[in-house]
Amino acid sequence: MAIKISNDQEFATDLKNNENVVVKYYADWCGSCKLFSPKYKRLSEDERFKHISFLDINAEQCPEARQIAGVDTLPFFAIFKNGELVGKISTTKEGSFIDLISQL
């Protein structure tokens, strides 16, 4: 599934319209965020996770979406089920990220 770039104006709708959502919070200056991006893209296309919607949110430009997940460092990942936050992690390790999204 393609990764959707979301923002504060669209975030609530994105959560409402998708049962399972994973969000990657990033910043343009974040080197670790850039390094994780190819993994995030590959996993968004993985057959195991076809039931999950993948979103990208620029944490610096979207304070409301950042606050909902309690983002305190980058890269930061949050998972939502039926619009509710059910898990979050700050990591650059693919295995830890897979453990998180496997909860959905």
Which residues participate in catalysis according to the annotation?
30, 33
> What b/e sequence results for 38-50 when a residue is b if at least 16 CB atoms lie within 10 Å of its CB, and e otherwise?
eebeebbeeeebe
CB neighbours of residue 56 within 10 Å: 18
DSSP 75: S
Strand 4-6 and strand 53-58: the pairing is parallel
